[in-house]
Chain A
């Protein structure tokens, strides 16, 4: 009895294996005629939303001036400490980054820097093509990061709102000329 059962089960499993092979071949054959899911990547680009977190850029304000004021908040927010910069004050009163460096070989594209930025200067773009043969090439300096445009926030310009004196479009923005500011107080006036 036991012998015959064993024999039957062996035959059954052999049959199952054979059917499985056929089924696999059928499935493979079937995919030959279905539409491919993969994209021909280098030739064909995938859709990445405008707010996708890719390569970091430094943008300019609508007047074409650098938005970054070198406040160091992005560097402080960065969880991998891959941003280093030094603030400098230029003759036009504006504060800019003397150097601004992002080590993309460390960057995890988390976007914390963008969230921390009080002037909308640092922004993440939907560019993810950051591969390099040489790791050193992943160190981006300010000239590599700074773009000509305003990025995602077309209207904002920090210095129009800030209280400090700077040149805007070559003209001095004095005290009291920023958005919703009263003219400077005449401290020698006698009016109550």
Chain B
């Protein structure tokens, strides 16, 4: 492909006015980049053009003397230097109006009852073209709708056949269960049979559809117009990608999440876990009251919150020695403050010994290999500028659709690189979507997948191998070895010959022996992979922490080191998927003083043993736990933890097994109600803001920690009333991240506060009039909030570009309005700030030169438990939860539970024979004293000794654990009955919960606490 070094802009004349337009994209994108209103439907900025809707017609003139011109479709026209087009001429504008008129012939009279109304691209385009009244008097064609699952609603009558839905679902996201049927005026978009949409990206249909065919069911059930939503820029808290979202609130409850354009990360699309998972903030398992603190009268503190009495009540724990346990889903600030309060020797991240080592390896990898952004991987906007595109993808031991769905969507686009190159070679540009797909066919960039389970990438892969986790590590090691040899000898030697050649080499020989179980397939796979890898110029290696294997991370490190030696001319990129939204942020707090769960347990029991000799009190150590559920530790360990600590204070937003046993539970705000930062898989420090104020006693975690600093600890210097003071405090202590945030905020807050509400927000004088006709004070800039960037009001400036709470532009009410704020189509947002990256260096932990002793040192600090030594026929448990149940926070959402097909356990047929399992039998799994039941499934390609569990009760953190053969048994009759009852009960409870939530939210709508709107939230008890 021809390499040009910079974006080439040419001058074109639109209505005789010269404009600078990029030649990398089509004419429509060029017109829109100049913020001119040209209507379109089928074109989508990231999906390219197909020329289906004929809406973007413009007149092209031969030269300045040409007055007649000819009509062209701008989305199908490349930009040529000096071209002259007309938007305002009567021929093309009349044509565009008539196209709308034709689309409207069958469009039902639904706008008032349509959930898309007010943010409908069709409405916007109709107004832009000036089509005001209906001329057609004939009958409208109708369709029957389909049930498409719990998340997306279907209303086919409204369809204008732009084909965007099927192009997204099938072509872009690789879904298989959705298609287009019929012909001419009877074209139907849906599934072959009614049923739940299978793709984890189905929610994007709502945003992709230019009108209301696909609607967000959860939002429609408790609906409000876009213009009434009070929104805040937020960060998705359901995986480590850190997609930018916008959370919308109305009448005190969160209504929906929409995509917030971020050029580097999510672009225009979110996954369904991010879009629908926010429901957890409204669920009934949210904690809304303080547990375990009594007021003067002896009653528990409920509803009302009084700071003084809270502090007084907490003073009784003053003498205790505290160990703090932070978590990977609490905000960066919360963890930082907790670490400061308890001191680094008493701080833990809730990791076990194994996880501590894993985290440190992760930190090491991140420090060494900068992580690409999603846009960097896709490389679409930089296409044609001579930068290297990934020509090979290798996924190692991470089921991306499960752990980081948005990344999986990006990988699917990366796989199109060679198709785009192939099309480019005959001059078909990347935006010619239909042409590229027709010409390139199923050409894909080679993908190799080395997994412990079947994934959705298997059928796209050139080579795929399903192995047990240990064997994956071994394969990576062998691959590195092969590549080493290859680079030395310039050819790839098949492994068998290699082995026979080097029988003298002990290490290889040992490995060979260990790998006897690996069959010919794996040899073939390795050979093919090594050959392709050595020819690739920019391979992308994707892996993650979900296998929890330190050895795998070291092996990947070696592989990367081998590949990135400069002499090979390979520029490999590594992407590591972290387990949770702030896992990478937590790496910042990890030091050799950090405690693991085992160390905490040891310390607690030791404390008690030593104090038991003294006649005085028995326990002295208490636990302060921040948004942590310690899902990975066993029930026995939890019991020990509970028994040996004096007092257990848990700060949590939803009920977990820790809040059940805690002495004191403080309700903290969820992501929608609090501000802070999350650090994504790259180390990108991203701010999220509260969509609405929490009703006390719910408070952001840092506020509770500040209160506790006064009462529990002797940190009088900790006295912040807003986050900015916190940043200033830590900046004064010389912490670079705080300084980064402060400079970022300073740039942003040169103007007034940004309004969270739209300028059309309605009902201000009526929402609370049923409680008091006297209107509450409008939330104005005051003492407490002048440092905040966003106001809870419709008054304030409008952010244009970066950090917009919602997107709206004059004449553009739909989410397509974001094009008006991009520097150019698909480009970065205007007013972009510097990227904030967390600098992860290992110097805080150890000296890098001593990396040899690292393993020993780790082992010394956090020794592996003895039982990890593997026996012969033990089993390995792999998590195979569907994408919607992976995240602990959102897994209890009733819609997600209803989508779950029931507990399943997949085993290989040999294993099934061994245990005498038949398909449909119920198996019993005993894990650390707890029994889990699941239906048996047979999976052919599953490696022997690996069982895949998709069990609702089993959290994702319990992954890749070794089981003794007797831990898996067949369930007896009584247990089978109990199991089926449990499964039924789960569905019944979820259905009930779904309607209960709706009833509760609707009753809440009318009883918004007035103090809450006043921005004070302070109530007397």
Mark A residues whose CB is within 8 Å of B: 69-73, 75-76, 78, 80-89, 95, 98-99, 101-103, 105-106, 118-119, 135-136, 138-139, 141, 158, 161-164, 175-176, 178, 180-185, 187, 192
Contacts and interface: CB of A to CB of B under 8 A. Distances in A.
B108 interface: yes
Nearest to B190: A187
B762 A75 contact: yes
A86 B224 contact: yes
A183 B186 CA distance: 12
Nearest to A72: B225
Given A139-B769, A162-B108, A181-B139, A98 B1002 contact: yes
Given A75-B762, A119-B112, A164-B110, A86 B773 contact: no
A13 B23 CA distance: 92
Interface string B181-214: 1111010100000000000000000000000000
Contact of B141 (A99, A138, A139, A185): A185
Interface of B: 108-113, 117-118, 137-145, 155, 157-158, 181-184, 186, 188, 220-225, 227-228, 251, 760-767, 769-770, 772-774, 1002, 1005-1006
A136 B224 contact: no
A21 to B, nearest CB: 51
A78 B143 CA distance: 36
Contacts of A82: 763, 765-766, 769
A75 B772 contact: no
Contacts of A78: 762-763
Contact of A72 (B143, B184, B762, B764): B762
B931 to A, nearest CB: 40
B770 A185 contact: no
Given A175-B142, A181-B140, A192-B183, 7 more contacts: A76-B227, A76-B760, A81-B761, A81-B765, A89-B221, A103-B765, A180-B139
A135 B765 CA distance: 13
A156 B117 CA distance: 21
Contacts of B118: 72
A181 to B, nearest CB: 5
15 contacts: A69-B112, A75-B228, A76-B760, A82-B763, A82-B766, A85-B763, A99-B1006, A101-B770, A103-B773, A138-B773, A163-B155, A164-B155, A180-B137, A181-B140, A182-B140
A80 B141 contact: no
A187 B188 contact: yes
Nearest to B157: A163
Contact of A83 (B108, B137, B140, B763): B763
Given A76-B760, A139-B773, A176-B142, A71 B113 contact: yes
A89 B221 CA distance: 7
Interface centre among A69, A78, A163 (most CB of B within 10 A): A163
Contacts of A85: 763
A145 to B, nearest CB: 12
A163 B181 CA distance: 21
Contacts of B138: 180
Contacts of A182: 139-142
Contacts of B766: 81-84, 101-103, 106, 139
A56 B766 CA distance: 15
Contacts of A119: 112
A135 to B, nearest CB: 5
Nearest 6 A-B pairs (CB), nearest first?
A163-B108, A84-B763, A75-B762, A84-B766, A71-B112, A81-B764
Contact of A75 (B113, B158, B221, B763): B763
B949 to A, nearest CB: 38
B157 A71 contact: no
B817 to A, nearest CB: 17
A86 B1002 contact: yes
Chain B, interface SS category: loop
B120 to A, nearest CB: 13
Contacts of B228: 72, 75-76
A41 B533 CA distance: 95
A99 B766 CA distance: 11
A141 B769 CA distance: 10
B141 A87 contact: no
Contact of B767 (A84, A98, A178): A84
A81 B762 contact: yes
A87 B763 contact: no
Contacts of B764: 81
B1005 A98 contact: yes
Contacts of B769: 82, 84, 101, 103, 105, 139
A25 B854 CA distance: 114
B259 to A, nearest CB: 23
Contacts of B110: 162-164
Given A72-B224, A105-B773, A184 B142 contact: yes
A71 B123 CA distance: 15
Nearest to A191: B186
Contacts of B182: 185, 187
A103 B1000 CA distance: 24
Contact of B1005 (A86, A105, A187): A86
B142 A185 contact: yes
B184 A76 contact: no
B112 A76 contact: no
A84 B140 CA distance: 34
B1002 A192 contact: no
A69 B220 CA distance: 13
Contacts of B251: 86
B221 to A, nearest CB: 7
Given A75-B763, A83-B766, A163 B140 contact: yes
A105 B765 CA distance: 9
Contacts of A106: 765-766
B152 to A, nearest CB: 16
B972 to A, nearest CB: 43
B184 A192 contact: yes
A184 B1006 CA distance: 40
B773 A136 contact: yes
